[in-house]
Amino acid sequence: MNLVAVMRAFNKGHGKCDCGKCKCDQGWYGDACQYPTHCDLTKKKSNQMCKNSQDIICSNAGTCHCGRCKCDNSDGSGLVYGKFCECDDRECVDDETEEICGGHGKCYCGNCYCKAGWHGDKCEFQCDITPWESKRRCTSPDGKICSNRGTCVCGECTCHDVDPTGDWGDIHGDTCECDERDCRAVYDRYSDDFCSGHGQCNCGRCDCKAGWYGKKCEHPQSCTLSAEESIRKCQGSSDLPCSGRGKCECGKCTCYPPGDRRVYGKTCECDDRRCEDLDGVVCGGHGTCSCGRCVCERGWFGKLCQHPRKCNMTEEQSKNLCESADGILCSGKGSCHCGKCICSAEEWYISGEFCDCDDRDCDKHDGLICTGNGICSCGNCECWDGWNGNACEIWLGSEYP
């Protein structure tokens, strides 16, 4: 008999424990002395007392004895237990190793709770990243693990309340940061009445159609311009209204992020964030930014003023620093200057320290790489503050002022 049975015997108070076995008082029997030898209950009353919340007698995993369930443990394992035999720890046994939770976790009522670094229904999979890295990958923009709306397993969030009838559930996103329920005037999971019918839900926020405003596009807006005229005024020479970096209302653009002076212009056409490198340094510290383009100081050149015109190293020293892992100078897609690769201007999409990256691999939205809201870094979008998504297409920052 296992320790659980021993403890039950003490709790029931119908026997004494002698060297790990229960010696039952007269009138009681069972491993834990939990069953009376004589029953005053009718069979109907007894069965009623043995039904679980689904009205199933002993969960179909045992028999009813005088209003108490006797779980089916004929093999002596003791893995089936509970007041209504509702717990079956056989569900935790790994088919291959025959160990509970694969030896990498603990089982409670048929569910495995894995040790750090392991996951799976039976803790059969080992995570190839550290717990710290797993936590980092699952951290949402607001600093919460899976936005407090999901569970983190090996660096990936599994969001709660996933609706199997649609492409997404109500809650989705890499870190469960998107909650479509916020777009509905009255929440009904079977209703498609997003944004009061006057907008599109984008990661839990409403993008209102022209002529409407409000958190859920519930207020009509008085504007003398037609929707087409409004968009045309906001578009200017760009392919997208407000250059894809703002919100168009009655022919006027409000640029993202609100209050950020780096994004400006009548159609938000100027984005001085393009002058910054991944560390936030403007024009390499050797120039000034003008409407998203670097004007370099004397003696410097390059898109971000990162190259000095004079070089203090020999040509051989310079070439050694420009060789990629395969020994080819700048991957054959650029020239070497003072130990740094200058990628071919004819192939605009080539980038990287050794011209080994293809920016066409970065995700697009509305035809723009990283939606114009981030920097393509060797095939992955590095989004600016307030933006999220594979193509930086989701605005998660503050509301418009």
Residue 202 maps to a domain:
no
Residue 330 maps to a domain:
no
Residue 301 maps to a domain:
no
Residue 173 maps to a domain:
yes
- pLDDT at position 275: 92
- pLDDT at position 297: 93
Residue 110 maps to a domain:
yes
* C-beta atoms surrounding 321 within 10 Å: 14
Residue 392 maps to a domain:
no
Total domain count for the chain?
3
- pLDDT at position 166: 44
**Residue 25 per-residue DSSP state:** P
Do both 111 and 32 map to the same domain? yes
Closest CA to 397 of 191, 255, 272, 265: 255
Residues 6+ apart with CB under 8 A from 155: 127, 129, 133, 134, 136, 137, 138
Chunked mean pLDDT (size 10), the chain, 401 residues: 45 75 84 81 90 90 89 82 89 87 88 81 83 85 84 84 52 84 59 73 80 77 80 86 84 80 89 86 92 92 89 89 86 89 84 87 81 83 83 71 36
Distance of alpha carbon 187 from alpha carbon 71, whole angstroms: 43
Do both 109 and 43 map to the same domain? yes
* C-beta atoms surrounding 35 within 10 Å: 20
Final residue before a domain boundary, out of 120, 151, 166: 120
Do both 144 and 114 map to the same domain? no
Do both 140 and 110 map to the same domain? no
- pLDDT at position 368: 78
Helix (H) or strand (E) holding 376: strand 374-377
What residue ranges in 162-310 does DSSP mark as E strands?
Answer: 171-172, 178-179, 199-202, 205-208, 212-213, 219-220, 246-249, 252-255, 263-264, 270-271, 287-290, 293-296, 300-301, 307-308
One-letter amino acid of 61: A
Final residue before a domain boundary, out of 238, 268, 298: 268
Distance of alpha carbon 56 from alpha carbon 83, whole angstroms: 13
pTM: 0.43
Do both 86 and 116 map to the same domain? yes
Residues 6+ apart with CB under 8 A from 212: 196, 198, 199, 218, 219, 220, 221
For residue 68, the domain's CATH number is 2.170.300.10
Residue 102 maps to a domain:
yes
Distance of alpha carbon 114 from alpha carbon 122, whole angstroms: 8
- Torsion angles phi and psi, residue 197, rounded to 5: 80, 10
Distance of CA 137 to the CA centre of its chain: 8
Final residue before a domain boundary, out of 268, 286, 305: 268
Residue 337 maps to a domain:
no
* C-beta atoms surrounding 365 within 10 Å: 19
For residue 261, the domain's CATH number is 2.10.25.10
* C-beta atoms surrounding 282 within 10 Å: 18
Domain of 247 in residue numbering reads as 223-268
